[in-house]
A = this chain, B = another copy of it.
Amino acid sequence: MPLIRSVFQDELDGVSQTLLDLTAMVCTAISEATTSVLNRDLTIAEKVIETDDRIDDMQHELDGRIITIIARQQPVATDLRALVTALRMSADLERMGDMAHHVAKITRMRHPETAIPTELIALIKNMGETALAIATKMGQVIATRNVDLALEVERDDDEMDQLHRQLISTLIAPQWSHGVESAIDLTLLGRYYERFADHAVSVSRRVHFLVTGNYS
């Protein structure tokens, strides 16, 4: 007998697809936000900010859809967990979009100056790339529900924490010469990347719940 419930299955698949779409948008956003802050590129920054609005809309739409599916299909067990998990993932993804938005806002705030002193460009670039890598990997975790891959995301996050610590120690080192204002900018910038990665970890962890039904 073939699988029944085809409509429901289509709807579940649609939710997964939207999560992947959101992930893709978030990846673009963080990558472009990094570019904008490194290159003082206001146009790209504006684009990121705009993307975030679209991410927010999409998230709202997705949440509404998930609630409708729960109301109409009344799923239980794995199906219900998948939907509730999607609901939470979408919140994380939205926050990740916000973080990219915040990064882009720093570009805008300092424009036409640069927010990043030359000696930190490499570090920030590294953070941006790590963030992108984590987000990409997170997308794979969503798509494959692979719990092992989720662990890798956590390891990448450790790397991000490492970079973050490195950033702070640079700021508080006596050699620091760019003043308090710049330090504050960079503190926040670092925190944004760090939080971005945290949210990615959180999304990956939710896959664990989805698969096993338990919080790890």
Contact = CB atoms under 8 A, between A and B. Distances in A.
How many chain copies does the complex carry?
2
Contacts of A88: 87, 91
A171 B187 CA distance: 13
Interface in A70-92: 70-71, 74, 76-77, 80-81, 84, 87-88, 91
Interface stretch (A35-43, A140-148, A150-158, A176-184): A176-184
Contacts of A110: none
Interface class of chain A by DSSP: helix
Q: Which of A64, A168, A180 is the most central at the interface, judged by chain B CB atoms within 10 Å of its CB?
A: A180
A188 interface: yes
A3 interface: no
A4 interface: no
Contacts of A80: 67, 70-71
Nearest to A81: B67
